[in-house]
Amino acid sequence: MEDRKNRQGGRPVARAATKYTAFKVKEGAELMEFLMKEMSGISRTRVKALLTNRVVMVDNNIQTQYNFQLKPGMVVKVSREKNKHEFRHKLLDILYEDAYIIVVEKKEGLLSVATERQKERTAQHILSEYVKRQHPGNRIYVVHRLDRETSGIMMYAKDEKTQRTLRDNWHDIVFDRRYVSIVIGDMEKDQGTVRSWLTDRTLYVSSCDYDDGGKLSITHYKTIKRANGYSLVELNLETGRKNQIRVHMQTLGHPVVGDSRYGCEADPLGRLALHAFKLCFYHPVTGEMMQFETPYPAPFKNLMLRK
């Protein structure tokens, strides 16, 4: 038997599958009602505790709402892990974890990876300390990054082989990666695509509309709402370059709110208005379709609702 995987019908299965009890939804019901029926004898208080502790998943997304409406065909998973390794951090939430990957949502202000100047206040370091509590030899491996000022969903690998698989096959494995942003002014188009060549000059990324030796970068955008001198925009990355969205929004003449580096003087939120809200991919080991999505940040919605 291979060290990395178990075999079931010739298909690899993530070892983490044994950490969850799975229930198939056969008829529509609220999550609370469903769990009380399936987990015979469990109290409402205990179910609420499970939801609060973020150990209940619906179709691989953590669910905390007791009245979440389930539909036939959905799969509800409840973690069987004890809380001795419970993870709590004000700048980082774990959305999913198994033997090979860990998916998190980071807050703005937190670096994704360690740098020469900052090694400890990073998502990489925080997660490394967490997995070492489970076993001293455990490590976290970087797959992709988010800017310090950007919040949202990220994925890390838990071993080098999985890291290589994800990095070498990123565009085949990740099939939907979306951001939401508030930009200055009213977007002229309801949707469109920005295509340019980006050159990283360390502190500033420059854009050129022809091949000047930079990296080809493609961003698709859709305008969700225009209000109060701002536009709420959903962005889909075809490539993932450093500062890509921020540079492309500046190129369109609508820099991201709070982004002084790329031409925005307004900072009504006290943060960069950019959030990675969706990440969908095929599991690098099992091939299972994984989909993670978070709501648009509340401050984003509030800014668009102001009179």
In angstroms, the Cα distances linking 2 to 6, 7, 15, 86 are 7, 9, 12, 29
Which residues, other chains included, contact 105 with Cβ-Cβ below 8 Å and sequence gap of 6+? 92, 93, 95, 151, 152, 153, 154, 294
First to last CA, the chain: 63
Which residues, other chains included, contact 171 with Cβ-Cβ below 8 Å and sequence gap of 6+? none
Closest alpha carbon to 77 in 24, 9, 141, 133: 24
CA atoms within 13 A on the CB side of 205: 20
Residue 147 annotated in active site: yes
Residues 44, 47, 51, 53, CA torsion sign = positive
Q: Report how far residue 218's alpha carbon sits from residue 183's, in angstroms, rounded to the nearest whole number.
A: 18
Is residue 110 within 8 A of residue 122, CB to CB? The reply is yes
Q: Report how far residue 305's alpha carbon sits from residue 307's, in angstroms, rounded to the nearest whole number.
A: 6
Tokens matching residue 87:
């993870």
Catalytic residue among 93, 98, 147, 259: 147
Is residue 240 within 8 A of residue 177, CB to CB? The reply is yes
Q: How many CB atoms lie within 10 A of CB 209?
A: 10
Q: Which residue has the tokens 């670096």?
A: 111
Q: Report how far residue 267's alpha carbon sits from residue 107's, in angstroms, rounded to the nearest whole number.
A: 17
- Which residues are known catalytic residues? 147
